[in-house]
Amino acid sequence: MITNSQGLSPDQASLFLEVIDASLRIKRREQLFSWLQGSCQYLFPHEVLICGLQAGNDQEFNFERFVSTRYLTDQNIADAIQNDGVIGRVIDSWRGTRRPTLVADGMVPGDFGIYVVPFAESPGALKEIELQNIAAHGQGNRDGGVSTFFCFSRIPGQLTANHAYLLELLVPHMHTALIRVFCNSAAQSEAADHGIGQITLREREILQWVHNGKTNGEIASILEISPHTVKNHVQNILRKLNVQNRSHAVLRASQLGLVKS
């Protein structure tokens, strides 16, 4: 963990707490976008954020983009994330240092302890592709677990050590939020593939009580319906989840986010 002798200003510290609190409620892509354009934007102003998600050390990053400027094109981004593109080279640098990485016109390459400037682009090169500057950092498992990478661009003003410090604070929470969005999207996709979206609200309610360890008779008493009706709902649930028994149904439902622990 890096340190910054200046720390956060009182306003930044207050905003940081708001950002962290809001990040805990992110489950979908649109929520992630709203968060990035809301409290996160006030703490770390930017017009472009490119997020990379890597499932293992031998896998390439899959990129998501969150852009609020009309100038940046898909081709600009596609060129930048190539291995020989500016973001591709920033990622290569970060893999070696695992520290915040800054690139901008006029910044001298070097290791500055709390951040790294890996190379100097030719004057105006970043402006030509509408990025202007880059402040990037990532998070991941060196042994092949999920890694994430976050590249902020079009940041107002000069890049400083404070940007690096903010990246160290923000990226672990951005990592967690992005993984949560990814897992939730994967579960929804898998559920749709298996027709799980057809499970009714009543069946989900019963499934939750099964998850809580209640018998058919107990569920019937709680919901004020007959045990026979509960049994029919349970059979429908097993069929829709393509499982053989209640235990398997609970496990499957937990994996797909259909029940609350």
pLDDT (0 to 100) of residue 59: 67
Could you give the 3-state DSSP secondary structure of residue 104? strand
Backbone angles phi, psi at 205, to 5 degrees: -65, -45
In a domain, 69, yes or no: yes
Average pLDDT of span 110-130: 93
Q: Is the confidence at residue 2, as pLDDT, over 50?
A: no
Number of domains in the chain: 2
In a domain, 153, yes or no: yes
Average pLDDT of span 135-152: 82
**2-16, 165-179, 195-209, 240-254: which has the minimum mean pLDDT?**
2-16
Question: Do 141 and 248 reside in the same domain of the chain?
Answer: no
Question: Do 175 and 246 reside in the same domain of the chain?
Answer: no
Question: Do 142 and 207 reside in the same domain of the chain?
Answer: no
Q: Tell the burial category of 238 from Cβ atoms under 10 Å away from its Cβ (0-12, 13-18, 19+).
A: middle
Distance CA 241, CA 196 (A): 7
Write the CB contacts of 205 (distance below 8 Å, at least 6 apart in sequence): 223
Question: Do 151 and 232 reside in the same domain of the chain?
Answer: no
Question: Do 43 and 156 reside in the same domain of the chain?
Answer: yes
In a domain, 110, yes or no: yes
158-184 residue pLDDT tens:
999 999 999 999 999 999 998 888 776
Helix (H) or strand (E) holding 141: none
Q: Predicted confidence band at 146 (pLDDT cuts at 50, 70, 90)? A: low
Question: Do 243 and 124 reside in the same domain of the chain?
Answer: no
Question: Do 138 and 244 reside in the same domain of the chain?
Answer: no
Question: Do 174 and 232 reside in the same domain of the chain?
Answer: no
Domain end point (choices 191, 220, 240): 191
In a domain, 2, yes or no: no
In a domain, 3, yes or no: no
Neighbours of 54 (CB within 10 A): 20
Question: Do 73 and 171 reside in the same domain of the chain?
Answer: yes
Q: Among the residues of 38-85, which ranges form H helices?
A: 39-43, 74-81
Question: Do 202 and 98 reside in the same domain of the chain?
Answer: no
Question: Do 139 and 219 reside in the same domain of the chain?
Answer: no
In a domain, 221, yes or no: yes
Task: List the CATH number of the domain containing 45.
Answer: 3.30.450.80
Domain end point (choices 147, 172, 191): 191
Task: List the CATH number of the domain containing 251.
Answer: 1.10.10.10
39-80 residue pLDDT tens:
899 999 999 999 988 866 666 788 888 888 777 888 888 889
In a domain, 5, yes or no: no
In a domain, 152, yes or no: yes
Question: Do 169 and 218 reside in the same domain of the chain?
Answer: no
Domain range spanning residue 46? 10-191
Q: Is the confidence at residue 6, as pLDDT, over 70?
A: no
Pair of tokens at residue 180? 């949560």
Q: Is the confidence at residue 220, as pLDDT, over 90?
A: yes
